Structure formats: C-alpha cells, structure tokens
Structure 1
Amino acid sequence: MVQDTTNLLAPATGAVIALAKTSDPIFSQGTMGDGFGLTPTIGKVVAPVSGKISMVADTKHAVGIVTNEGLEVLVHMGVDTVGLKGAPFTIKIENGQEVKAGDEIAEMDLDEIKAKGLDTTIMVLITNSADKISGLDVTEGEAKAGEVVATAYLKTAEAEDTSSKKLSYPELASFIIKNVGGKENVNNVIHCITRLRFYLKDESKANDDVLKNQRGILDVMHASGQYQVVIGNEVTNVFDEVVKQLGPLDSEAAPAPEDDGKNPVSKAFGNLIGFITGSMSPIIGVIAAAGIIKGILALLTLPQLGSLLSVKSTAYITTSAIADSAFFFLPVLVGYCAAKRLNSDPIIAAVIGGVLVYPQLVEWGKAFKTMFEVGGIKFEFLNYTYSIFPMILAAWLAKKCEDWLKKWLPSYLQMIFIPLITVLVVSALTLMVTGPIIQGVANGIAVFINWLVHASGWIGGFIIGGFYQVLVIFGLHWGVVPLVAQQIAGTGESALNAIICSSMIAQGAAVLAVAIKSKKEDLKELGFASTISAMCGVTEPAVYGISLRYKKVFISGCIGSAFGGLVTGLMHGTMYGFTGGLIGFSSFFNPKHPTDLSSFYTFLIASAVTIVVSFIVTWVWGYNDSMVQGAKVAKKKRPGSK
C-alpha cells in the first residue's frame, strides 16, 4: 500500500538549511522542486531515500533516485560544480542499481571544491513535487548522515465519485471486487435471484458504506457467513463479470471463523443457513421456471377454457417432462451446488444424486420395497425425487469422506479410489440410514407446517403475511425456501407459500404508489422497475431500493401483506407451485383436479385486497416527496457471520 508520507534522510553529516536559504536562486526559489540543503562537514554522501538509481551525471556531481512511491529525488552535490567535470567526486553506485536509504552513493572532496571557490552545499530536491507531494517539513540544524531531517506528504489520488453514475457491468464488477477487499480476499462467490453472495476471508476489509452508496447496488448485508451485495434484477450480468475478473479462486475452503464468544447454537444455525443458501440459491430460478410451466399446463387443461390441451397429448407430456425434470433431478442439482459450496468434487456429489433418482430405485421407492431386515426392522427404499435435505447431508458426508481419503490414500491411487469409495459408501449410507431419517423428518415438518397454516386460518395468515418480508431483510427467508420446496415435493401443495405470495405483491404495490405519487424522476424510474420485479416474485429491489429507505413504505407493504395473508388463511388457499407474485398465478391451479379453482379464486381476492390496502396506506400515510430519504439501512450481523 502506498504510504501517506516519505521520510528523507540527511545525505551527509553537516547543517541542514531550508531551501530558501541556499545560495543558488534556481534551487532557492523552488524552480527545481521542493527540498532542502545541507552544508557538509564530511564528504561521504548517502542516499536520502530508498529506490532505484535513475541518473548519474556525466560530471558526477548529481545523482537521481526514483522511489517506490514515484518520487523523483535529485541529490545535487555543490553549487556550480558541473564545471569541475567530476574531479572532486567519486561515485559509489551505477545507473539502474537499487539502493536503500542510508547507503553510500558518492564521496565529495570538500577541500578541492572550496579551493575552487565554490559552495559545497548538497541539494536534495523532489523534482516532481508539484505532482507527487502536498507539502514538505524540514528540520534545520546539525544532523548526521542517515538521520531523518525531512518528511514529504504524498498526494493521495482521490477516486472518482461514481456513486450517482450508472456503471457498466464490467465497471460495477471492478468496483465491487475492489471494495470487498480485492480478489485476494475472496474465497468464493455465488449468486441468487438478486444478490451476489461472497465468502470472504476477512469481512472487515469490505467497504460497506462505499458499496451501499453506489448506484446499481441496493444494499450490503453480513448474513449466514456470507457478505451479500444486493444488486437486484441485473445480478446475473454483474455476477458473470465478477467471475470473469476474479478468475480462478482459491481451491481451499473458506477458513472457519475464529471463536468470537457468540452462542454456539446460534453460530451453528447461521452456518447451516449459509450452507443451505449456497446449495439452493443457484437452482431457485430453474425451479421457479418449472413451476410456472406446470401451472400454465394446468391452466390449458381446464374444462372451463375448453380443455385446450389434453393431458394425454404428446405436447402436454413433452412439456410436462421439461417442467418436471428440474424437480425430478433435484437431488443431482442440489448435490452439485452443495459440493461447489463445500469446495469438494461436484461431479461425485452429482453422481450420488443420480443414484437417488435412478429409475429402478425410484420405482422400488414408490412401492416401499424392502432392502433388508435386521432384528425385525425393515430398511425400505424411498422415492427421493423432488427431495432436498437428504442430498444436502449426502454432499456433506461426501466432503468428509473425500478429505479423509486424501489424507490416507497415496496420491497415485486417489484419482480412481476417491470417487469409487466415496460414491459407494455415501450412496449406501444415504439409501439405508440417513436418507430415510432425513426424508421422514423433512416430510413430517412439511406436513405439520401445512396443517398448522390451514388450522390457524386467518390468524396464521395475518401474522405470516405481516412479518415475512422482515425475514427477507436479514436473508433468513432462505431458511424457508427449502421447507416450501419440501412441502410441494411431499404433499403437492404449500399453504405457506400462498401466504408468502401476498407479501411479494404487497411490496410491489407499495413502491408502485411511490412511483406514481413522486415527482422525482429517479425515484419514479426505480419505483416502476421495482414494482415489476416484486410482482414477478423478487422483492429485494423494492425493499432495499425504496421501502427501507422510506421506512413507512415498508410498513405500509407489511400492512397490506398482513391483510392479504388474512384472506388467504381465511379461505384456506394453497399453492401447487413454487413461483410467487402475480406471475405465479398459474401455481394456484390444482394440477390433480383441474376443475377445483378454489385456490385460484383465493389468489385473486387476496391479491386484490393486498394491492388496494398497500397502495392506499402508502399513498395516504407511507410516502410524500417532502420525506427525507434515509441512508441505505445498515443490517445487524446475523449468526454465523464474522
């Protein structure tokens, strides 16, 4: 790192004088740059700074040195000594040589110079001082060669303020990398629908405030062991540039955080959320897309619309297969992403996921075929298509197995036997022990949550709808995402997701009110863009770009969401797909019973209530142009972060 100051040493033993007191007007007036003079009593001359010798005069009376900071320092020995043609001087260095401050560079014959009637004063000048330094402090008086007698204050190049400038994707990526501590501070980076999720070696090196205030960045968060940069809808483009500029990252896993005295249970929970996030976030987009396709297919088969598509048609079966593939092979996708997060072999994990969804094993799983029996306890095959948690645990076990084998196997055996042993051991263990346990618990939790939401009716809908977006603020909604996916996988529906859907629509309606009411052009532009994003199921641009900066807007959205959840709970609405927001309307059609439109009608009514309440509350109470925009909200660090 460039220092703020550079010390200059006395070039010889003698008396230091201010430059203005020297006898040569060219030097004393600062024409050659800032510096000082020294009247020597001993002829030994040393380098006043460390650097590279850039010039040795043919007449030996002057030596130039360029420092690492770019200072061009001239050591001029005597006044008008150029006419002596080098006779009184002995040079101890060569051009291009590296020297350290205090190294001997020359020797002067002081008596010979005085005999010629010339001034022996040595000038130490910074010839590019106008560009490189903002000031120079000189201590006059007697000094020995090599003592610090002056301090140069370096100019710091002020970075261009780009906070209000729209940067290109490469520019924004460079800006982000620089302000998360540089490439050397990044262990890994992934992204979800709106956020870059960095795994940093030291989060304290990141410049939170600089990042938060840059246009194109909605917020930053320390959550779940990640440093999250909230971008919004353009996250994929920025991520691609970040990865391109980072190049190959360290293959080693991120170091475990030091013990900071936090509750170990809370730290473990944070680490678990971080692991689930890393395993799930890369595949959320394809799951959502698959859910939309399934919903549209259900819509096209509705008798009320004339059954535009037959469930037995080639087009239906083919399109359904396209949509189902993301869910059917979910263990493969989750395994691959989990391994990437753990810095283990993703292909090994993907193969283990492939074992879980192998067609013959799937058929046996659907029939609960017995593998073997021990002491009256039957170990049965299960169907792991659409499952998440068994594969997440399997990926972790594979990582541990790989690490152990790398430690004990000779290097010439590792290429073959690490995949062989890991796939066999972890697949067998998952099929026989961990898979049934985890799948049973996960399905049980999913069924319980669905029952609880249905049973609690409007009360549960009101509470969940009102507070779900608070989880989004802290990034904890990622702990809910796998539960929703597990509900849909295990029961084919998710009442919880139906309520969550209203919270997305509510924030969209709230920022829409801001966009229409405001006369500020930039706020209108951001408001309309955020509305579209929220209505498509992605609320971060609305929440971080507007709602939290005008806190009443966020509260207004939560109020509307609470009423939307109340209606959903009261009418016992449920979802059969993953995608939320208005774009998720097709997920409210029951694919097993196309004529049952109760949940779709619930969606229409709840959405209308949500939009009206959120919009009106925001318009009347939540926003006006006289409000002062708050700073982008600093987030509390979550468990598992440093």
Structure 2
Amino acid sequence: MGKYQADAEKLLELVGGKENIAAVTHCATRMRFVLNDPSKADEKSIEDISSVKGMFTNAGQFQVIIGNDVSTFYNDFTAVSGIEGVSKEQGKALAKQNQNMLQRVIAVLAEIFTPLLPAIIVGGLILGFRNLLEGVQIEALGQKIVDGVAMTNADGTPIYQTIVDVSQFWSGVNHFLWLPGEAIFHFLPVGITWSITRKMGTTQILGIVLGITLVSPQLLNAYAVNGTAAADIPFWDFGFAQVNMIGYQAQVIPAMLAAFTLVYLEKFFRPRIPEAVSMIFVPLFSLLPAIFFAHTILGPIGWKIGTGISYIVNAGLESPISWLFSAIFGAVYAPLVITGLHHTTLAIDSQLIADFGTTNLWPMIALSNIAQGAAVFAVLFLHRKDTKEKEISLPSGISSWLGVTEPAMFGINLKYVYPFVAAMIGSGIAGMFSNIMGVRANAIGVGGLPGILAINGNIGGGWFAFTIAMIIAIVVPFVLTIFFRQQGIFNKIDRVGAQVVTPDGAVVDAPEISSANTLPTESTTEELFATANGTVVAITEVSDPVFSQKMMGDGYAVRPTDNHVYSPVYGTVTSVFDTKHAIGILTPGGAEVLVHMGLDTVELKGAPFNVKVKAGDSVTPETEIAEMDLDAVTAAGKQTDILTVLTNAEKVANLEITGLGETTAGKVIGQAEMK
C-alpha cells in the first residue's frame, strides 16, 4: 500500500471520480487537475484530507497543494485512479475547456499586457515626474526687476513660475526625460505587436517591424490628426486609390488588430510554403499584407472602435450621473482584478489619453489600490499580536499602497471577506469624490500612493483634491474594517468574542493570542543559510503566488549569480524530485525544508540540473547539493530564483530573515524557531 493511497482514494472520489478528470499533472508542490465539471469537486471535504495544504482554481485548472512530497502522492494517485498524467502545457491547453469565451479573451489580454507593464509603469513614473516639473507653481521672489526679468506684476502681486521656468538644470532634466517617457506611450503599438506575436508563438521581429510601420516618423502623428485640415493630410497615391499616411501613436486596438492579422497570415502560410524557401516567402506574404490592411482597413476601424469606447467612458464620467458611474467603478475595480477584467482598463486608459490628453479612470484605479492596502493595515491593527499574520499583512499592505494589490487581496482581505468589502466601499466613495472634483491623470501605470505623480495639477481639483481622495481611501476602509469585525458584518471566520483555552487554563479572545505563543512548548532554533552567491529576497517578492502568498509555508529566496546550489540547513535529504528541480531536507529540530530551484522548472524535466545528493545523505551549508545551469533556465523563459521553504508551518513558531540583500553561499541569513 502506497504512503498516500488512502488520501489519494479520497481525493479521487471528492474531485468527482475518474470520469470527471480530463487531465492531471503535478509540479513541485501541487496536483493540477482539469475537471470536466469543476462544480463536482467537494472543496470543503478535500480540505479535510490530512495531506492537503490548500487549493485554488486558476486558468481553468483545479490545483490541490500537497507539498514537497507531491511526486509520491501523484504516483499513488495515478495508481489508484488508473489515469496517466499529461505535461503541464497539455494541461493548460485542456484547461481551456473550463473557460468561457469571455474568460479566454481576458486571458489573452492579460498575456498581451503583462509583459508591457514594466515599461508602462516606468513611463508613468517619468511622465508623473515631468508633470511635477511643469505643473508645480512657485512664487517668484526677489526685487521687482531682476536681470531685466519681471519678478512681480506692475501692481506688486507675485508672478508664479514652474520649476522648469526657474531652474535651467531641471529644465534640462525635463527635456531629457521626454525621450523615454513619451517613447513608451507614443510607441506603445510596437510593444503590443511584439507581445502578441510572442504570445501566439510566431516571429517576434515581424511583430516589431509591423509596430514600427504604425508609428513611423514618415506618417502624420496621431496626435496631430485632429488639428490638420483634410487637404493637408499626406497620402500614398496608387493612381486608382489614395491611402492616408496617418500614424497610430498610443493607439491600442489598431495595433492589436494588425498584430493578430500578421499572426494568422503567418500561421496560414508557414505549413503551405516549402521549407526551402519559407524564410523568404512566409515573412513576405505575412508582413506586407498585414501592413497594407493595417493602414487601409484595420487601422481606421480600430481607431473608430477605440475612440468610441473612450468617448463612452468619458461621457459616463462627465455625465449628470457621473457620481454614480464613478462610485460603481471605484467599488468594483477590485473584483475586476480577481476576474482579470482589469486588464481591459489599460487599453481604455491608453485610449482616453490618446483622445483627450488625460484620463479620469486611472485616478480611481490608484485609489482602489490604496483602499485595499488600508483594509490590510486595519486587519494588521486588529491582529497586532499575531506575529505570523504580520509577516503576510505588512508587506501586502505596503505592496498595495505601491500599486500591486494581489498579495493584499488574496493573502488577507478575501480570506476574511469583511476587509475586502470595506475596501470596496472606501474605494467607491473616494473614486466618486475624485471624479466629482474633476481629477484627471496625464499618465497610467503608477498606482497606489505614488499615483499622485500622474495627476494633472491644472485640471479640476488637481493634486489637492486627489490628496483628499487618498485620505478618504485610507480612513473609510480602515474604520469600516474595524466596525465590520466588531459587529460581525460580512465576517464569518474572525468573530470578536470567539474564545479559546490556553494550555495554562486561561480563557482569552482568539484574536488576542499570538500564533507564535498559543502552544508554549519547548522550542529549537534552526539557523538558515544562503543557498547560493547572489541576492537574498523575501519570499513575498517571488512571482509564483503559491510561494509569495506562503501557501506552502514561509521562507526566502536567493537570486543566484552562479550555478552552484548549497544546502540552506544542517539536516538529512528526504527526497529528490524525479525532475531534479526540488530537494527535500529534514533538520534535527524537525523543520521540513523544500529547496526549489527556479520557477515552473518542472517543465524542463531535469535538463538544467545536476543533483549531487540522494535521499538519506547528511548535508550542511557547505554541501553543494546541486548545480543549476542558469543560462539554460533563462533560455527556457524561466526565472532562476532558488527558494527555501519551511513546509510544516504548523511546527514553526517564528521565522526571522535578517540577511536580505547581497550574500554569499553558506552565510547565515536568518533563523527559525521550531515548536
């Protein structure tokens, strides 16, 4: 009988039986199911299985978290079910059967815009800073005439000037920053066409070339079209027809239509053209028609669609019932993040800026970030004696205030529900106030508190009104979170008055007991060491949510600079994964440690790894347990983070990582106190 046979039999029954499983696979920590009918999975009963640490559904896959012994569990599961596994990519493909058309569109939009986010965020920061340099009014002090320049009006009232007016240095900085700031948004179509060809698996350089043809300097700039008489618009004259030479700077939909046309033309011609000449004729027959259609049909149509959407949104936010429109949008933006629909707002915001020069949508998005963070800080205040939750809530709240809300929502607010609702209400009120005051942003990408950099200080209430809106987004969710908890509103699992008995017989309110002190048993301290030369980062900075949200347990990661991987602890090797990318170690104090090399590297089937230990070996921080070919992992499109995770969280009283930053292999970077 296998180690997990009983649990595997239970899981098979609770996911709906063999006939409900379209595919099953696993990674380093999770069983990944594609279910024919996801509603048949009994999640409550699955949680009660002793070897199950949690579950969630993502991209059509039902994922059950097992831990670092998942490969053994998987073998027992396939034995009792008779189902052979599939690759992770095949699983993703099959998972599409559980997604409706809207979900598939959202998934495509997410995959298009996610690679562009770093550039969009940087561009927003740069334009926001330029906004301050050009918008902050400074009173010109001094005599009435200084070096021939008037410093006061004739009546003695002060003249106000901007920072760039009074400082040549900042004027030069402002002028220079136009280059990267405007480039990112003016040439956004190039990024979109590249990202689509990348996502669809076609030739990326053709996507880049197509994007360049949409923003070429030879074309009339899109921003100048409305101010140019029809007779003055340049055109290509083909004798029987003329085509306007108009650029599509900052336009999203024309670029998307053109890119998908290129992709499907390439996919059509590639299998039909002999391989000997495919390098010549596939690009030729794909790129030229895509460029032609982009400037004759797709571009004008896409422009009309994009403009129509932006005018509808803008009209709604400036209509007599704009207060209602903005309150609803401010409240529901956070749920949109859960569904992925928030990716559509990037396209709408970009179009609003292209059509109107500013957007009234982005300020409300920034306020939603702030509201979610405020709710997390309220939970942190309520649970201030819970040291383990503090390790999640503090970085999650800070991250949310800097514009990234997923850790806050999934790690804290959605778990308790009531802070999530409080944040929605606060965001709705703040968004309504912001829009009523006419606040608009010059750029997108900068969320949370830094979002004020993107606000146009000369339109509507400007920076002052947005500051008040930010205060609303902080105060209202914070107060409501406390109120909802005290009154038991939207609150099912964090009720005030719930009591427990401590080992010494005292009866106390459950929230007042520190998770590190509820079981005051004899403890052991384990030292933790760097697994490689490189940079130590908090586990919350890892891009895989299962690790960053500590579903597998707490720990840390090292971003290595060479191929050598060492043990993070003194202990005994308990398992080496078949795919060689993960190793389990048990310490003398009882810590179950998972060393996970790279993210999603299970797909590489062991190719970049040379494991130098086996189950039963004793290891120390001086033991090289594996080599990881960083170049091969990077070339495969994977991240090289080496994670150290303490998977038996119930036995960890306290974890402290003190060595963040540059490190060398074998250096002490923290300690874990075991119960």
**Structure 1 residue 300: Cα displacement:** 1.9
Which residue matches 1:100?
none
- Determine if contact 1:336/1:350 at 8 Å carries over to the other structure: yes
In the alignment, which of 301, 306, 318 is matched to residue 437 of structure 1?
A: 301
Letter in 2 for 1:412: A
Aligned in 2, Cα 1:202/1:621: closer, same or farther, shift over 3 Å? closer
- The answer to whether the 8 A contact 1:515-1:525 is kept is no
Q: CA deviation at 1:229?
A: 12
Instruction: Quickly say closer, same or farther: Cα 1:270–1:515, change in 2 above 3 A.
Output: same
Shift of 1:525: 2.7
Contact 2:222–2:249, Cα closer than 8 Å, also in 1: no
Equivalent residue, structure 1, for 2:71: none
Q: Letter of the aligned partner of 2:110 in structure 1?
A: T
Structure 2 residue aligned with 1:352: 210
What RMSD, in angstroms, separates the aligned Cα atoms of the two structures?
A: 4.1
Which of 372, 379, 390 is the matching residue for 1:514? 379
Q: What residue in structure 1 maps to residue 393 of structure 2?
A: 527
The equivalent residue for 1:468 is 333
Matched, 1:493 2:388: no
Q: Against the structure 1 CA distance between its residues 553 and 328, is the aligned structure 2 distance closer, same or farther, given a 3 Å change threshold?
A: same
Name the counterpart of 1:309.
164
Distance 2:190 2:64 in 1: 28
What CA distance in whole angstroms lies between the structure 1 residues aligned with 2:89 and 2:370? 41
Q: 1:361 offset after TM fit, Å?
A: 1.7
SS in 2 for 1:339: helix
Alpha carbons of 1:501 and 1:375: their partners in 2 closer, same or farther (altered >3 Å)? farther
- Shift of the alpha carbon at 1:255? 4.7
Q: Give the structure 2 partner of residue 584 of structure 1.
A: 451
- The CA distance in 1 between the partners of 2:427 and 2:63, in whole Å, is 26
- Which residue of the partner structure matches residue 28 of structure 2? 178
Name the structure 2 match of 1:481: 346
Name the CA shift for 1:376/1:344 in 2 (closer, same or farther; >3 Å).
closer
User: Aligned partners of 1:568 and 1:541: how far apart in 2?
Assistant: 25
Q: 1:432: Cα distance to partner?
A: 1.1
**Matched residue count:** 417
Displacement of 1:393 after TM fit? Answer: 1.7
Residues 505 and 405 of structure 1, relative CA distance in 2, 3 Å threshold: same
Query: Do the aligned residues in 2 keep the contact of 1:364 with 1:381 (CA within 8 Å)?
Result: no
Percent identical: 27
Q: Which residue of the other structure, out of 319, 324, 329, is the alignment partner of 1:459?
A: 324
Relative to structure 1, the CA distance from residue 256 to residue 541 in structure 2 (aligned partners, 3 Å threshold; closer, same or farther) is: closer
Aligned residue runs from structure 1 range 13-32, under 5 A: none
Q: Verify the 8 A CA contact 2:322 2:436 in the aligned structure 1.
A: yes
Q: Does residue 1:280 correspond to 2:113, yes or no?
A: yes
The 3 A distance-change label for structure 1 pair 303 and 532 is closer
SS in 2 for 1:485: helix
When residues 314 and 218 of structure 1 are mapped into structure 2, their CA distance, relative to the original with a 3 A threshold, is: farther
| Equivalent residue, structure 2, for 1:39 | none
Maintained 8 Å contact 2:382/2:482 = yes
Quote the residue 2:433 is aligned against. 567
Instruction: Tell me which of 250, 255, 268 is aligned to 1:391.
Output: 255
Q: 1:412 aligned to 2:282?
A: no
Give the whole-Å Cα distance in 2 for the aligned partners of 1:508 and 1:258.
33
Q: TM-score, normalised by structure 2?
A: 0.55
Cα deviation 1:315-363 (Å, max 9, x = unaligned) = 2221121111211221111111111111111111111001111111244
Partners of 1:461 and 1:562 within 8 A in 2: yes
Does 1:295 pair with 2:165? no
8 Å contact from structure 1 (residues 218, 544) kept in 2:
no
Contact 1:365 1:380 in 2 (8 A): no
Cα drift, residue 226 of structure 1: 8.1
Q: How many Å separate the matches in 1 of 2:92 and 2:237?
A: 42
Residues 229-378 of structure 1: pairs in structure 2 closer than 5 A: 255=93, 267-305=100-138, 307-310=162-165, 313-363=171-221, 366-367=224-225, 369-371=233-235
| Structure 1 unpaired stretches of 5+ | 1-152, 160-174, 186-199, 231-248, 634-642
Equivalent residue for 1:538?
A: 404
TM-score, with length taken from structure 1: 0.57
CA distance in 2, matches of 1:397, 1:532: 42
- CA change 1:180–1:395 in 2 (3 A) is farther
Residue 222, structure 1, aligned to residue 86, structure 2: no
- Contact conserved, 1:457 with 1:572, CA < 8 A, in 2? no
Q: Compute the displacement of 1:483 (Å).
A: 1.2
> Aligned equivalents of 2:55 and 2:205: distance in 1?
34
- Asked which structure has the greater CA Rg, the reply is 1
Alignment partner for residue 418 of structure 2, among 548, 552, 574? 552
Name stretches of at least 5 consecutive residues in structure 2 with no aligned partner: 8-24, 66-86, 139-160, 487-493, 499-509, 512-545, 550-675
CA contact (8 A) 2:364 2:434 kept: yes
Structure 1 counterpart SS, 2:58: strand
